[in-house]
Chains A and B, each alone.
Chain A
């Protein structure tokens, strides 16, 4: 025969600290006012954590607002966030520790005003976190300013005549708003309007956290909550206001529940071993790349090259190939493009330096070679070529009003020559071939290796090689020497 005896059925949940030492003074009481909804939500959350056995796994993100000190009370991992940013912080915490249970606790000013963007996108990414949204239609901690959820006509310190929807807009129904998104898994609004709805609120919180535990994604419970002090109502009247006024505007209930249609979460792949990082990061292997110490040192080699033309003429690639091949040949190189809207509006140029010595400035303000693929580029940069320098120009001859006596000019219709090869696009390569023949400092195989690395299509590599060869043939075989 079973005996009956009095047993403890309800007491302070274990997810609370036994003593609130982080609070200091009065360390067994919360800092909340008599009748405050936060204390109730805290208790519901703490009980749920106990029931689900997730205290060790739980990381609470505390907001800014009256619940800023949630970490005084919860014996869980805690991260304090800036005003409105808890969903962003929660996002990264959860992604860092997928096995943790991340709970973002936020008020209406925090979540619906300053943090509107963060909550919207956290929900829309269906981040697997749980948000407890305490809506009490007021800024409590700062002393009673109008919130995005303040009811029409509600007097606050910043709406002394009452919230005027014509001026201030209507209160935001955040749960409904977020539920219109296709992503979030579970959103419910519950009320602390009386003890019956408080029990429903607890179930809602449990559903939300279970949603996270099952890996279904974003869950939020909006809790209509009393703020007796700021509302200037006694706690019982404040609770009645929640029931009578708030519930009328903010209808409790499940706003979206897509848990059933969400696929089971996939197990994350283990991170790759560090030994794979060379390959994963496309780092060069040591085989065959590095040139032997080169004989370039015998003479001081110092190419300062400006390459310019229209976008689409392959200006930047021409420069990169030069730099890549020269680096492989043991030389020091730098490549500096023009970038930004200039790049998008049609003209393009880059600075290439190739030197047997460490390169100081990557800028080519005084060039000793100009590769001009069109006339505007020639006009723009011809004067920057120093006396004795080399100019390659994509055209039969320099325009009459654009001449230099003290530089060596090779004007050839490079693009037309390329066209005869089958593609005007490789005019840059014909010009590069000519430059290599004149400058004579790079072995052919270096350029071919660079081509193979930078040009992904084999077909184009072949066309480019042909174009290089043709370019080489079109200029005198003797080496160009700077004056």
Chain B
């Protein structure tokens, strides 16, 4: 199929429908509103359900209802809306319901502003909701990945019966790039555990209640085992890391900027590489540990005051230096400033192998 110039926000919707998603429930919030608008246009014509809910709270509980009914279901929002959705995220995970939440991060805290940030990494990868659960989290860095990872998100959600986030930021949502939908459209399939208003599904119960402590402990252990199994889904991109003394670590739009910085730093003779986590949960910890044997310093760059850097430190566990560079408030770090920052660290710390 030919390439099509698409906004990230529209690619998500087309990707979702091709993945067999037939239920979209949402509430407007910049910079995710275009997803809602595209869904309002495309879902009904493809035989899907679209509804603008009265709040993010209602929207995500509608997703809960749709998922309980066996539909591939989704919503999209941004930080303030995800805060409101946190309640249901816990119920979704507890009741083992698959669904996809697209989160286009904006700058916070509070109302903050609508410019891009990556400061909801903790909120999303550490859940926000109550109880022992995880959400799987995918981090697209291009419009093509907005489409591809949305599709993957539905597959993972079904495979693990768990909510999956597609975590991007306003930039990737607003950006246009060529997209190619390589996978054919998938027919919706109703899983056997869902409620359906039929004799065959009458026995089905969707619930997150386990009243007896022993029962709940078993349930939590089952969820944990599932998350351990999901470690095999880890995905990341390495760029020029083989002989790198300095490895930049960043996800989403930042990784695109870092890739540019890597080339510029290489041109200056500094052996630099990039590790881009594509899955944030599961996190590429094993890869970071492996790389730590030869890398002098990991420089984590985020549009936040430093959140993913915690996961890098946990993974590296002291085996190499880990430093952080962040921008916030809606500012993107430019490749030139990253380059200058790394050059400064190299001068100061003597990071490069002789």
Answer yes or no: A and B touching, Cβ < 8 Å: yes
Q: A interface vs B, CB < 8 Å?
A: 22, 24, 55-59, 61-62, 68-69, 71, 75-82, 85, 88-93, 95-97, 99-102, 117-118, 120-121, 125, 269-272, 274, 277-278, 280-281, 283-286, 289-290, 320, 323-324, 327, 332-337, 339-341, 359-363, 365-366
Contacts of B2 in A (CB 8 A): 284-286, 289-290
Residue-wise, chain B 57-100 has the 8 Å CB interface mask toward A (1 for contact) of 11101111110111101000000000000011001000100000
- Contact at A274–B187, with CB atoms within 8 Å? yes
Q: Total interface residues on B, using CB and 8 Å? A: 79
Measured CA separation A91–B65 after assembly (Å)? 7
A286: min CB distance to chain B, Å: 5
Residue-wise, chain B 170-206 has the 8 Å CB interface mask toward A (1 for contact) of 1100111110010011110000000111110110111
Measured CA separation A320–B175 after assembly (Å)? 10
Measured CA separation A55–B199 after assembly (Å)? 8
- Contact at A81–B58, with CB atoms within 8 Å? no
CB within 8 Å of A: which of B21-69?
Answer: 22-23, 25, 30-31, 42, 45-47, 49, 51, 53-55, 57-59, 61-66, 68-69
Measured CA separation A341–B196 after assembly (Å)? 44
Closest residue of chain B to A271 (Cβ to Cβ) is: B47
Measured CA separation A55–B203 after assembly (Å)? 11
- Contact at B256–A360, with CB atoms within 8 Å? yes
Measured CA separation A121–B5 after assembly (Å)? 38
Q: Which of A85, A269, A341 gathers most chain B CB within 10 Å?
A: A85
- Contact at A77–B51, with CB atoms within 8 Å? no
Closest residue of chain B to A102 (Cβ to Cβ) is: B197
Measured CA separation A406–B311 after assembly (Å)? 46
- Contact at A340–B260, with CB atoms within 8 Å? no
Closest residue of chain A to B212 (Cβ to Cβ) is: A24
From B223-231, B331-339, B341-349, the one touching the partner chain is: B331-339
Which residue in A81, A95, A324, A361 is a CB contact (below 8 Å) of B259? A361
- Contact at A97–B176, with CB atoms within 8 Å? no
B264: min CB distance to chain A, Å: 10
Contacts of A81 in B (CB 8 A): 61, 64-65
Contacts of A61 in B (CB 8 A): 65
Which residue in B42, B45, B58, B212 is a CB contact (below 8 Å) of A118? B58
- Contact at A121–B53, with CB atoms within 8 Å? yes
- Contact at A324–B62, with CB atoms within 8 Å? no
- Contact at A284–B197, with CB atoms within 8 Å? no
Q: Is the CB of B1 closer than 8 A to any CB of chain A?
A: yes
Q: What's the count of A-B pairs with C-beta under 8 Å?
A: 232
- Contact at B49–A96, with CB atoms within 8 Å? yes
Which residue in A59, A92, A285, A334 is a CB contact (below 8 Å) of B177? A334
A-B contact pairs, 17 of them (CB 8 A): A57-B198, A59-B195, A78-B207, A82-B64, A88-B62, A91-B65, A121-B54, A270-B47, A271-B46, A281-B17, A286-B1, A286-B2, A323-B176, A324-B5, A360-B259, A361-B257, A365-B335
B327: min CB distance to chain A, Å: 12
Contacts of A121 in B (CB 8 A): 53-54, 58
Contacts of A22 in B (CB 8 A): 205
- Contact at A90–B65, with CB atoms within 8 Å? yes
Closest residue of chain A to B46 (Cβ to Cβ) is: A280
Measured CA separation A351–B282 after assembly (Å)? 33
A332: min CB distance to chain B, Å: 7
- Contact at A339–B174, with CB atoms within 8 Å? yes
- Contact at A88–B202, with CB atoms within 8 Å? no
- Contact at A333–B178, with CB atoms within 8 Å? yes
Closest residue of chain B to A87 (Cβ to Cβ) is: B58
Contacts of B59 in A (CB 8 A): 88
Q: Which of B57, B59, B73, B170 gathers most chain A CB within 10 Å?
A: B57
Contacts of B54 in A (CB 8 A): 117-118, 120-121
Closest residue of chain A to B170 (Cβ to Cβ) is: A339
- Contact at B206–A366, with CB atoms within 8 Å? no
Known contacts A274-B184, A366-B336: does B197 contact A89 (CB below 8 Å)? no
- Contact at A55–B202, with CB atoms within 8 Å? yes
Contacts of B68 in A (CB 8 A): 79, 89, 92-93
- Contact at B4–A284, with CB atoms within 8 Å? yes
Q: Is the CB of B153 closer than 8 A to any CB of chain A?
A: no
Known contacts A71-B205, A277-B18: does B175 contact A362 (CB below 8 Å)? yes
Measured CA separation A276–B268 after assembly (Å)? 52
Closest residue of chain A to B335 (Cβ to Cβ) is: A361
Measured CA separation A76–B199 after assembly (Å)? 9
Closest residue of chain B to A64 (Cβ to Cβ) is: B209
Known contacts A59-B195, A80-B206, A82-B87: does B3 contact A327 (CB below 8 Å)? yes
- Contact at B23–A92, with CB atoms within 8 Å? yes
> Which 5 residue pairs of A and B lie closest in terms of their CB atoms, listed nearest first?
A100-B197, A271-B47, A92-B65, A96-B69, A80-B207
A197: min CB distance to chain B, Å: 31
Contacts of B335 in A (CB 8 A): 361, 363, 365
- Contact at B256–A78, with CB atoms within 8 Å? no
Contacts of A362 in B (CB 8 A): 171, 175, 177, 253, 256
A361: min CB distance to chain B, Å: 4
- Contact at B3–A284, with CB atoms within 8 Å? yes
A297: min CB distance to chain B, Å: 17
Contacts of A24 in B (CB 8 A): 212
Known contacts A323-B176, A365-B334: does B71 contact A96 (CB below 8 Å)? yes
Which residue in B53, B113, B197, B202 is a CB contact (below 8 Å) of A97? B197
Known contacts A121-B58, A271-B47, A320-B176; 5 additional CB pairs below 8 A are A78-B204, A88-B53, A93-B69, A96-B66, A284-B3
